[in-house]
């Protein structure tokens, strides 16, 4: 696979200001600051891949998406999306991409979503037969058959988000940028969106770049980029992230009355109460003979082993970043 997106050392700053007074005097006493949203970011995205772009608030995720789609321009560095400069060749680029910006709708409040879909068909020059076939597929897959013909104002937020997704992919773009795409979307619909992304990737080789705060949304991502204060601080697979920051296992066990099992020699005890304990251990401890004998003891009623979720892994990652900064 070749790179469909190439970013080389891009930076982007914004001028902001604060005032320390009110009224007319406020406009005369502004104090200006330069905020660096992106700082020498370099990355590549393979064609046909699903990639997640993560980061805390203010990390530069949305700024990067807006640069890649031509809404903003970079102050320095170079950007290539399908061989095009996004802000210099925006019209050409727009015909080949789809964009879902969670806070910005492509629908019309007093009109049915169907009208927006037809409008998109004419903008992108989609053949009517192909349009009907695609619309039927997307509305069935996302359970929108009873929804897309009613005015947008009568839809739930989740229904609006799903219709926004449909409006962005009806022309079968080569790249789809999803910025917080599942705001207000229920669990079955999130699952349907993931299945659709995988189907589009498999059948059409569609590339997806997702930014989100909902870590469950990136379960389909093959690669993860992490931004922190405008800098790229991680580039790799989810398994690599888990290996670096989530290689512990949590063992929860319940035991009957009498003496509680000794746990301190096996790992970090997270909780220890009457008839219940939780301990964090290294993966290799699960094969330790002494540990296995302890779990097999007569007074042990039950136990389970859990791997840390991505939320916990990211929390550890951010905690390490904050510790380095102190």
Query: Residues 239, 98: one domain?
Result: yes
- Chain centroid, CA 244 distance in Å: 20
CATH code at position 106: 3.40.50.300
Q: Which domain holds residue 299?
A: 247-307
CA distance 144 to 167: 12
Total domains present in the chain: 2
Query: Residues 148, 260: one domain?
Result: no
- Residue 55: which pLDDT band, with cuts at 50, 70 and 90? confident
Q: What is the CA radius of gyration of the chain?
A: 25
Query: Residues 298, 159: one domain?
Result: no
Q: Quick check: is 151 in a domain?
A: yes
What does the pLDDT read at residue 27? 62
Tens digit of each residue's pLDDT (9 = 90 or more) over 59-80: 899 899 999 999 999 999 999 9
Q: Quick check: is 24 in a domain?
A: no
Query: Residues 261, 222: one domain?
Result: no
Query: Residues 147, 159: one domain?
Result: yes
First to last CA, the chain: 41
Query: In percent, how much of the chain has pLDDT > 70?
Result: 90
What does the pLDDT read at residue 28? 64
Average pLDDT over residues 207-232: 86
Sheet with strand 76-81: strands edge to edge:
31-46, 3-18, 76-81
Query: Residues 198, 107: one domain?
Result: yes
Q: Quick check: is 41 in a domain?
A: no
> Strand 223-228 to strand 231-236: parallel, antiparallel, or no bridges (unpaired)?
antiparallel
Tens digit of each residue's pLDDT (9 = 90 or more) over 155-207: 988 888 889 999 999 999 999 999 888 777 777 878 888 888 999 999 999 99
Which of 27-31, 267-271, 286-290 has the weakest average pLDDT? 27-31
pLDDT of 46 above 80: yes
What does the pLDDT read at residue 101? 81
What does the pLDDT read at residue 134? 94
What does the pLDDT read at residue 202? 93
Q: Give the CA distances from residue 167 to residues 144, 206, 222, in Å, rounded to whole numbers and listed in that order.
A: 12, 16, 25
- Residue 26: which pLDDT band, with cuts at 50, 70 and 90? low
pLDDT of 18 above 90: no
Query: Residues 144, 275: one domain?
Result: no
Average pLDDT over residues 100-121: 89
Contact 52, 88 (CB under 8 A): no
Query: Residues 291, 202: one domain?
Result: no
Q: Quick check: is 207 in a domain?
A: yes
Residue 170 φ then ψ, to 5°: -60, -30
Q: Quick check: is 296 in a domain?
A: yes
Query: Residues 132, 223: one domain?
Result: yes
Which of 190, 218, 243 is at the close of a domain?
243
What does the pLDDT read at residue 308? 66
Instruction: Give one DSSP letter per residue of 61-76, joined into a string.
Output: HHHHHHHHTTSS--SE
Query: Residues 157, 260: one domain?
Result: no
Query: Residues 143, 277: one domain?
Result: no
């Amino acid at each position: 696979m070749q790179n469909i997106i190439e970013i080389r050392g891009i930076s982007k700053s914004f001028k902001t200001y604060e005032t320390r007074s009110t009224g007319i005097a406020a406009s005369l006493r502004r104090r200006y600051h330069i905020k660096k949203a992106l700082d020498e970011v370099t990355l590549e995205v393979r064609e046909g891949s699903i990639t997640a772009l993560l980061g805390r608030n203010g990390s530069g995720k949305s700024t990067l998406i807006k640069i890649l789609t031509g809404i903003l321009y970079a102050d320095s560095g170079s950007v290539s999306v399908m061989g095009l400069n996004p802000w210099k060749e925006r019209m050409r680029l727009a015909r080949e991409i789809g964009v879902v910006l969670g806070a910005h709708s492509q629908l019309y409040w007093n009109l049915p979503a169907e009208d927006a879909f037809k409008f998109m068909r004419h903008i992108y020059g989609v053949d009517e037969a192909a349009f009907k076939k695609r619309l039927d597929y997307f509305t069935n897959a996302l359970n929108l058959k009873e929804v897309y013909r009613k005015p947008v104002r009568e839809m739930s937020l989740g229904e609006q988000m799903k219709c926004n997704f449909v409006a962005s992919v009806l022309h079968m773009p080569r790249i789809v940028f999803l910025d917080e795409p599942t705001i207000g979307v229920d669990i079955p619909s999130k699952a349907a969106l993931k299945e659709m992304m995988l189907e589009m990737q498999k059948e059409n080789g569609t590339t997806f770049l997702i930014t989100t705060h909902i870590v469950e949304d990136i379960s389909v991502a093959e690669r993860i980029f992490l931004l922190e204060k405008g800098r790229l601080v991680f580039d790799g697979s989810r398994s690599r992230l888990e290996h670096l920051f989530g290689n512990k296992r949590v063992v929860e066990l319940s035991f009957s009355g009498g003496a509680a099992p000794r746990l301190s020699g096996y790992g970090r005890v997270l909780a220890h109460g009457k008839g219940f304990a939780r301990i964090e251990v290294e993966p290799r401890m699960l094969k330790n003979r002494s540990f296995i004998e302890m779990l097999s003891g007569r007074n042990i009623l039950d136990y389970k082993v859990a791997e840390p979720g991505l939320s916990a892994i990211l929390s550890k990652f951010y905690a390490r970043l904050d510790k380095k900064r102190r």
